[in-house]
Structure 1
Amino acid sequence: MNKSLFQIGKDLRPWIDRVIMRSSRIPDAAVHDKSFFPWIARLEQQWQAIRDEAISIRAADIPSLGDISFDHGRIAADRRWRAFFLKGYGYRIKANATRAPITSAAIEKVPGLVTANFSVLEAGGHIPRHWGMTKGMLTYHLALKAPAEREKCRMHLEGPDKLHVLNWEPGQSFLFDDMFNHEVWNETDEDRYILLIQIKRPCRWRGNLLQNAFLFGVRHSRFVKDITGAIERASHNRPQDRASAAVR
Structure 2
Amino acid sequence: MTEILWADPADLQAAWRDGARALREGRAGEALAMFRRITDEGQPTAAVWIGVAMAHRALDDRSAERAALERALALDPRNIHALMISGDSHAATGDAKAATAFYDAVVKLAAMGPVDPALQPEVARAARMRERYAQDYEAHLRGVLDAHGLDGPEGRRMRRAVDLLLGKTSLYLQQPKYFYFPELPNIEWAERGDFPWLDRVEAAADDIRRELLQVLEEDAAFQPYVQAAEGRPNFDNLGLMGNPEWSAFYIWKDGAIVPENAARCPSVVRAMEGVPLCTIPGRTPSVLFSLLRPGAHIPPHHGFTNARYICHLPLIVPGNCAMRVGSETRPWVEGKACVFDDSIEHEAWNRHPDQLRVVLIFDIWRPELSAAERELIGATLQAVDAFGGAPHTGD
Alignment TM-score, normalising by the size of structure 2: 0.47
The whole-number CA distance in structure 1 between the counterparts of 2:378 and 2:312 is 23
The whole-number CA distance in structure 1 between the counterparts of 2:244 and 2:383 is 28
Give yes or no for contact 2:310–2:339 (8 Å, CA) kept in 1.
Answer: yes
Question: Residue 212 of structure 1 aligns with which residue?
Answer: 378
Which among 321, 327, 330 is matched to residue 153 of structure 1? 321
Q: Which runs of 4+ in 1 moved over 4 A?
A: 67-72, 217-223
Question: Residue 120 of structure 1 aligns with which residue?
Answer: 291
Question: Residue 245 of structure 1 aligns with which residue?
Answer: none
Q: How many residues align?
A: 202
Question: Residue 92 of structure 1 aligns with which residue?
Answer: 257
Change (3 A) 1:94 1:81: same
The whole-number CA distance in structure 2 between the counterparts of 1:74 and 1:51 is 33
Where 1:66 maps in the other structure, the secondary structure is coil
Which among 246, 253, 278 is matched to residue 81 of structure 1? 246
Alignment of 1:48-197 (within 5 A): 48-58=206-216, 59-67=219-227, 73-75=236-238, 76-77=240-241, 78-113=243-278, 114-147=285-318, 149=319, 152-158=320-326, 163-188=327-352, 189-197=354-362
Question: Residue 198 of structure 2 aligns with which residue?
Answer: 40
User: Over alpha carbons, which structure has the higher Rg?
Assistant: 2
Q: Give the number of the structure whose residues are more often strand, by fraction.
A: 1
Where 1:56 maps in the other structure, the secondary structure is helix
AA matched with 2:324 = H
Give yes or no for contact 1:89–1:215 (8 Å, CA) kept in 2.
Answer: no
Deviation at 1:38, TM superposition (A): 2.2
Alignment TM-score, normalising by the size of structure 1: 0.72
Question: Residue 189 of structure 2 aligns with which residue?
Answer: 31
**Higher RCO by CA contacts (8 Å cutoff, separation 6 or greater):** 1
The whole-number CA distance in structure 2 between the counterparts of 1:125 and 1:11 is 23
Alignment of 1:233-248 (within 5 A): none
Q: Provide structure 1 residue ranges, at least 5 long, that are not aligned to the other structure.
A: 1-9, 228-248
